[in-house]
Amino acid sequence: MNKATTIMALGTALILGSCANEPKEWKYSIDEFADIEVLRYQLPEWDNLSLQQKEYIYHLAEAAKCGRDITWDQFFKYNLDIRHVLENILETQKGKGAEWDAFVVYAKRVFFSNGIHHHYSDDKILPGCSREYFAGLMNKAGCYDENLLDVIFNPDTYVVKRYQGADKDLVEGSAVNFYEGVTAAEVNAFYDEMADPKDKEPISYGLNSKVVKKDGKVTEEVYRAGGLYGTAIEKIVGHLEAAAKVAENDLQKQYIAELVDYYRTGDLRMWDQYNITWVKDTDSAVDFVNGFIEDYDDPLGRKATWEGIVNYRDDAASQRTVTLSENAQWFEDHAPIKPEYRKSKVKGVSAKVINVATIAGGNYPATAIGINLPNADWIRREHGSKSVTIANITSAYDIASSQRPKSILSEFAWDKAEIELCKKYGALVDNLHTDLHECLGHGSGQLREGTPANALKEFTSTLEEARADLFALYYMADPKMIELGLIDDPEAYKALYINQIRNGIFTQFCRVELGKQNIEAHMQDRKLIAQWCYEKGKENKVIEMKRKNGKTYFVINDYMALRDLFGELLCEIQRIKSEGDYEAGKALVEDYAINIDYDLHKEVLERYESLGLKPYRGFVNPEIVPVCAEDGTVSDYRIEYVSDFLQQQLDYGKKYRTL
């Protein structure tokens, strides 16, 4: 399956250039705890939107926030019960002292991760306070539950949200709530029996359901109105229907109606129809994502997490993505892959730069900086895809980084020249990388006839992200980027290459506990690329590991040779995807993406700690508030910027509780 990318922006981002239209004195960073920094984002040009557009965004935002409980429950069957306990305690008690502070940090971590497993590492989050203290808080709040205490404090149960090892069953070893009473083999057999290999328009079997065993028989409970998550879905549908009444055009009304039909029936054919109609809408200023979309959280790569994003177009910044989409065929024709795996005719590629107005579900609080949808490969092939780069999120990351005295760049760059190059071109090439990755990378290539969409199974996400990243890396150094006016200096691409290697093989592991494996799909993608290129280029020292003042650095000696390696790996991963070569894909991931060198890992953790930075970052949403005229009608929608992460979580718990 050709997946959408939700590229998670590194908390350890380079110090990049800030956007001139956003005031530096505005406070972006509002909270820090554990390994998390919480930021705010702005809504530029909000006052230039029409009242109708603002109202449309408002209802879409309410629809998005009403799906919150679904995501929590999908991540773990006890998550909602635990969240309600945390909310009860925080609403009724005001403690003090080290134990209370540790409890609050635990609560914030759980809220940030939409559950008791870390949002990125998938490891279980354990409280810093004692079990006895926690039990006392539950007693005072009138919500004592011995079973929940065991779930929360036992380090040996529900250890990881998504298990990826080899010594347990993938389903039985995972805490996610997509399956109950079944094994991975039973699930795969269940869907293999459904799939028709001759179907040229295959539905995404299992995307919107939970697989359970009842009376010894494997079956699925579908997410739909009147079914699993029905009460939440009814709320979502109500706000979608309110949005449709003030939509910008008839096409928006049509695909909202199709989405509502899908939510009511759970029919995945209608989901495909909605995506086909939605992908045609390239002119509207306001757009949204709402549904069960990405399968990153499922150990088998089938079940989709609920998510929502509401956005509006940044017209000025979108010019670069328009240029790329208009030249999509040229990029496809010149891709370093086998001709039979190129698309002879690229259809419906559209791209734009957006500003998000609301992030929700699997995209909140930690969100994407780029999205490419829909996921179904046959829809991409026949109808095209839509790609976005999220301007106000990347701007918030960049400005927040620039306001700090220390950076990962100053610590891990080899020399002053490298620092200056990255400062000069980092923001430009980073945004272009996202554009290329989303707009062209995910939409490129094609499957060989007869290749099943889910042939790569649990390795699908990592290999797809690597494929899109490699496409972007390869073309960033192409003279075509100069010709199209997207870059004015032929040396600019080097800033991207430096960051790709340094981050992929070294610095990104500031996010991983020492001795642990690398399990997140995007981190695996980056490790796979950097490690493979490092090892394949060793003989000619294309990339060299150097030591200076007792510290390790990775230095690129031959940029064009590195580009050739990117192209070679892209060719192989495209072949793996096109042919459904599971064993070759598995070997790539297991050999290059999972294991972390212990000594390098220890060093990066020690050096990173000295910087005083947080490796993960996420956001609070601004509030969109209706303004009523004297006659009671809504005359405007104003923006209130939130500055309290915990309070927003508690407010959402009251206002958007649906399950």
Q: How many helices (H) and strands (E) does the chain have?
A: 24, 15
- For 608, the token pair is 């990173």
pLDDT for 10 equals 40
| Spatial distance between the Cα atoms of 407 and 32, rounded to a whole number of angstroms | 16
SS3 450: coil
Asked whether 371 and 391 are in contact (CB, 8 A), the reply is: no
- For 416, the token pair is 């002053």
SS3 314: coil
The β-bridge relationship of strands 370-373 and 385-390 is antiparallel
| Spatial distance between the Cα atoms of 580 and 363, rounded to a whole number of angstroms | 29
291: left (phi over 0), alpha (psi -120 to 50) or beta: left
Asked whether 440 and 324 are in contact (CB, 8 A), the reply is: yes
SS3 634: strand
User: In this structure, what are the phi and psi dihedrals at residue 256, rounded to the nearest 5 degrees?
Assistant: -65, -40
- For 295, the token pair is 């399968």
| Spatial distance between the Cα atoms of 426 and 341, rounded to a whole number of angstroms | 32
Asked whether 558 and 542 are in contact (CB, 8 A), the reply is: yes
Cis previous bond, 374, omega within 30: yes
* The residue to which tokens 């208009």 are assigned: 326
**Domain segments of the chain as ranges:** 31-41+227-619
Position 623, amino acid = E
pLDDT for 22 equals 42
Which residue positions in the chain have pLDDT lower than 50? 1-24
| Among candidate residues 209, 193, 210, the one with its CA nearest the CA of residue 271 | 209
Position 401, amino acid = S
pLDDT for 18 equals 32
- For 438, the token pair is 């989303």
| Among candidate residues 36, 5, 39, the one with its CA nearest the CA of residue 403 | 39
Alpha helical stretches, state H, 580-622: 582-592, 598-609
Helix axes 460-476, 582-592, angle to 10 degrees: 70
| Spatial distance between the Cα atoms of 151 and 575, rounded to a whole number of angstroms | 44
Helix (H) or strand (E) run with residue 555 in it: strand 551-556
Write the CA distances from 442 to 73, 351, 548, integer angstroms: 29, 12, 39
pLDDT for 161 equals 97
| Spatial distance between the Cα atoms of 547 and 108, rounded to a whole number of angstroms | 39
CATH code for the structural domain at 31-41+227-619: 3.30.540.30
The β-bridge relationship of strands 36-39 and 616-619 is parallel
User: In this structure, what are the phi and psi dihedrals at residue 222, rounded to the nearest 5 degrees?
Assistant: -85, 140
Q: How many CA atoms lie within 13 A of 75 on its CB side?
A: 30
| Exposure class string for 524-533: b at 16+ Cβ within 10 A, else e | bbbbbbbbbb
- For 117, the token pair is 């497993």
Helix (H) or strand (E) run with residue 240 in it: helix 230-244
Q: How many CA atoms lie within 13 A of 230 on its CB side?
A: 8
Helix (H) or strand (E) run with residue 386 in it: strand 385-390
Total Cβ atoms within 10 A of residue 655: 11
| Among candidate residues 592, 596, 659, 649, the one with its CA nearest the CA of residue 618 | 649
| Among candidate residues 578, 407, 403, 367, the one with its CA nearest the CA of residue 507 | 407
- For 650, the token pair is 């508690």
Q: What is the pLDDT of residues 68-90, one digit of tens each?
A: 999 999 999 999 999 999 999 99
Report field, pTM of the whole predicted structure over 0.75: yes
| Among candidate residues 82, 81, 106, the one with its CA nearest the CA of residue 95 | 106
| Spatial distance between the Cα atoms of 435 and 387, rounded to a whole number of angstroms | 8
Write the CA distances from 496 to 347, 409, 416, 422, 489, integer angstroms: 28, 13, 16, 8, 13
SS3 49: coil
Which residues lie closer than 8 Å to 273 by C-beta, 6 or more apart? 258, 262
In residues, how long is the chain? Answer: 659
